[in-house]
Structure 1
């Protein structure tokens, strides 16, 4: 890992103070990936996620700049996270109680800072602080780098899911049991 890299946990209230930095990094990471990754969509998406109980953000700072972050939240019994899941899914897979599953929603590293262990450091730091029985995430099937990293960190594909939002993509559903 990089010397001088600082990881820090943030609550939703603390994250609001650096919201523009979070959005700007997101836009830099997805600058060539089309309108689905627009600023307006991400601001709405992030705002909704930050309202979740126990939402947690970990940032990576180097040389005084935000170079990466990861965030997620536990899935409540009323979650819509699993809406659009493809069958077959294991029996009871989508049953939630607020303590069973931590949803990892974003993991971003600035393109200039990749391949230096920052994503792994963020991933490991956030998940080490969680008490849920499992974690889940959605990843594009064509994102080979992310797919490779997640598999090396112990994630497994269970099925696919296409969320109900307008113009949603179909994602692979990955799960990791600590």
Structure 2
């Protein structure tokens, strides 16, 4: 664990002032993950995600420097989150109402601070306050470090999903009650 970490929760309005820092940490964390992980696409993603009802961000700083964060939002009845899901899935699995599933969209930590418990702390802090029945996240199959961390934190595999965006990878779909 890293000494001196400070956690803070933000809603979308409060987080607007942090967008440049969020992008900077994201690009640092994904520096070796290929062209999909670029500034333009990520800024677009944030612009689409932040206005969603219930969007929440938890950050961690050390000495005022943003070193990591996690964010997500509840899935509304008209969500597109499950588009591209691969069969078989349990009956009713993709049915949403805004209170059933909290989707974690990003969990990123600067490369210099990875593998020190920062991600787990962010994960636990965010989920400790959620009231949804379950949470979901997507992880690239080749991101074995993250995948094994999620599994050790109680997440389980359900299926795979390939989003409908250009050059999207096929992700593993994980669920946590």
TM exceeds 0.5? yes
Q: Distance in 1 between matches of 2:75 and 2:169?
A: 21
Superposition map of 1:140-151 within 5 A: 140-151=140-151
User: Which digits, 9 at most, give the CA deviation of each residue in 1:92-117, with x for residues without a partner?
Assistant: 00000110000000000111111211
Indicate the residue corresponding to 2:162 in structure 1: 162
Shift of 1:128: 0.4
For structure 2, the residue ranges without an aligned partner over 5 or more in a row are none
1:62 correspondence with 2:62: yes
Q: What is the alpha-carbon root mean square deviation over aligned residues?
A: 0.7
- Structure 1 runs, 4 residues or longer, greater than 6 Å off: none
Indicate the residue corresponding to 1:96 in structure 2: 96
SS of the residue 1:147 aligns to: helix
Superposition map of 1:27-46 within 5 A: 27-46=27-46
Q: Distance in 2 between matches of 1:170 and 1:78?
A: 22
Q: Distance in 1 between matches of 2:142 and 2:33?
A: 12
SS of the residue 1:17 aligns to: helix
Indicate the residue corresponding to 2:171 in structure 1: 171
SS of the residue 2:36 aligns to: helix
Indicate the residue corresponding to 1:76 in structure 2: 76
1:105 correspondence with 2:68: no
Shift of 1:28: 0.8
1:2 correspondence with 2:2: yes
Aligned residues, how many?
177
Normalised TM-score (structure 1): 0.98
SS of the residue 2:88 aligns to: coil
For structure 1, the residue ranges without an aligned partner over 5 or more in a row are none
Normalised TM-score (structure 2): 0.98
SS of the residue 1:18 aligns to: helix
Shift of 1:149: 0.5
Q: Distance in 1 between matches of 2:102 and 2:115?
A: 25
